[in-house]
Structure formats: C-alpha cells, structure tokens
Amino acid sequence: DAEITQSPRHKITETGRQVTLACHQTWNHNNMFWYRQDLGHGLRLIHYSYGVQDTNKGEVSDGYSVSRSNTEDLPLTLESAASSQTSVYFCASSDRTGEAYGYTFGSGTRLTVV
Amino acid sequence: SQKIEQNSEALNIQEGKTATLTCNYTNYSPAYLQWYRQDPGRGPVFLLLIRENEKEKRKERLKVTFDTTLKQSLFHITASQPADSATYLCALGGNAGNMLTFGGGTRLMVKP
C-alpha cells in the first residue's frame, strides 16, 4: 500500500545544531508540503514543492530549507536549530488535483530543541 | 491578513446527538474548503471537500455546508459516537496553487 512516512518520530537536539527531518511518500504525488503545528497556531506552512527541483517558501520559512531531488522525498533542514523551532512537524503530499482528494499526512515528527 | 477561526474550546456532547462545528474566515475567497480529522499523536486525515459553488455536501453521517456570503462553513456529525472524539480542522484552498491554509481546529468529545 502507498504511504507517507516521516522519520524520526521524536528528536531532541541542541541549539545551533543542524537537523534534517525526513519525509518519504510512495503515492507518486507531485505536491509535497511541510507544516509545523503548535498550540494556539494550528498548522502553518513552512515550505512546499510542486515537483522535482521545485521548492517554495511558505508562511514560516525562516530558518528552514528543503530540497526536492526526486518525487518521493522532501527532507526539511533546520540550518541552526533554535528553541522557537520546538514543535511537531508534519509532512503532507497530494496529487495535482489535491483539491478533490485532500492531503495525505505523515504521522509527524516531534522535535525538541534544548 | 487572512484569518480562519474555529472554536478553540472543546465541544462536549452526548452520544447520539448531532455535533456542529464552525469554521469562519476573513480576508479570503477560497475556491474550496476541506475538513480533516486529527487524533492525538497522528497526522490529519482528509474527510470532505466542498467547493465554493456548492451549498452542502454529505458523506455517511457527515454533512458540510459552505456559505460564501457569511464566510462560514458548518460541519455536522449526526448520531455522534465516542469514536468520533477527535480534533477537527477546516482548511481553505484554491487561491494560490494547491496550498491549504488551516484553522486551529476544534476538539470534539462525545460522551457515552
């Protein structure tokens, strides 16, 4: 069965370290998204991609970067982790007509920056 | 700026009753609106989509309405069950590519 997986599920890192969160989907979806979810803010878009070699900034992109070298993967990198980046991170994917079928989300990565 | 509001307070109802959740938005003209369910420790799961030219959509015990004049969507769960307890998120899309903007979600608790 097709799926979208995120790893790790939990991560503790120190301030200033570079951290990469993985997202892998086998739906063959063109569109992939990274959101963070915090109490009081809901889901906020960090970065998104509409296909290989395409990346775009979302609402809260400062301090984050992504790259899309193939259809299946969109890793999210925190260049220099800060305590304000402690959050739950969700990756999602959709096909070109995502409006009709919605997003498929991963199970999330809980990141703690100490 | 764009704003999507959902009741931040939990909605508590008795099993068998109809749950009604509200999603209001401002400074936005969405082409469609989606509803998702999120369980603790899990990612959101897509439930329903309704387009701007549709007034109402049904799927089993779920019903969604969309009033573009009031800038509001109502999400109903009829004959609610304890298994319906979860957080429900509304999301607006269609203005900028395939991106969705999410509301903060409303937690629903159905008591037996």
pLDDT for the residue numbered B94: 77
Between B1 and B102, the higher pLDDT residue: B102
* Structure confidence at residue B28 as a pLDDT band (50, 70, 90): confident
Would you give the DSSP letter of residue A102? -
- Measured between beta carbons, the chain A residues lying within 8 angstroms of B59 are none
Q: Which two tokens stand for residue A98?
A: 């995502």
Taking the CB of residue B71, how many other CB atoms lie within 10 A of it? 18
Q: What is the mean pLDDT of chain A?
A: 94
Is A5 in the B-facing interface, judged by CB distances under 8 Å?
no
Mapping DSSP onto H, E and C, the string for A38-74 reads ECCCEEEEEEEEEECCEEEECCCCCCEEECCCCCCEC
Tell me what percent of chain B is helix, strand and coil, each rounded to the nearest 5: 5, 55, 40
Pairwise CB contact (< 8 Å): B102 & A48? no
Pairwise CB contact (< 8 Å): B93 & A99? yes
H/E element, A100: helix A98-101
**pLDDT exceeding 90 applies to what percent of chain A?**
88
Taking the CB of residue B4, how many other CB atoms lie within 10 A of it? 23
Q: Which two tokens stand for residue A42?
A: 């809901």
* Structure confidence at residue B31 as a pLDDT band (50, 70, 90): confident
Is residue B69 exposed (0-12), middle (13-18) or buried (19+ Cβ within 10 Å)?
exposed
- Measured between beta carbons, the chain A residues lying within 8 angstroms of B34 are 99, 102
Residues 25-64 of A with CB under 8 A from B: 31, 33, 35, 40-45, 48, 50, 58
Residue B38, amino acid: Q
**pLDDT exceeding 70 applies to what percent of chain B?**
96
Give the closest of A99, A101, A107 to B43, CB-based. Answer: A107
- Measured between beta carbons, the chain A residues lying within 8 angstroms of B4 are 42
Average pLDDT over residues B2-27: 93
In chain B the first and final C-alpha atoms are separated, in Å, by 41
Q: Which residue has the tokens 């994917």?
A: A93
Is A114 in the B-facing interface, judged by CB distances under 8 Å?
no
Pairwise CB contact (< 8 Å): B49 & A50? no
Q: What is the pLDDT of residues A37-89, one digit of tens each?
A: 998 788 999 999 999 999 999 999 999 999 999 999 999 999 999 999 999 99
Strands B56-59, B32-38: pairing kind: unpaired
Is A10 in the B-facing interface, judged by CB distances under 8 Å?
no
Q: Which two tokens stand for residue A89?
A: 């991170």
Would you give the DSSP letter of residue A85? G
Residues pairing with B12 in the sheet? B109
* Structure confidence at residue A9 as a pLDDT band (50, 70, 90): very high
- For the ranges B5-19, B40-54, B75-89, B93-107, the lowest mean pLDDT is seen at B93-107
What is the C-alpha to C-alpha distance for residues A54 and B6, in angstroms, rounded to an integer? 32
| Whether the predicted pLDDT of B23 surpasses 80 | yes
Average pLDDT over residues B12-18: 97
In 3D space, the residue among A23, A21, A58 whose CA is nearest the CA of residue A43 turns out to be: A58
pLDDT for the residue numbered B62: 97
H/E element, A98: helix A98-101
Q: What is the pLDDT of residues B93-106, one digit of tens each?
A: 876 666 889 999 99
Give the closest of B31, B94, B103 to A42, CB-based. Answer: B103
Q: What is the pLDDT of residues B50-72, one digit of tens each?
A: 999 999 999 999 999 999 999 99
pLDDT for the residue numbered A100: 63
Distance from CA of B79 to the nearest CA of A (A): 25
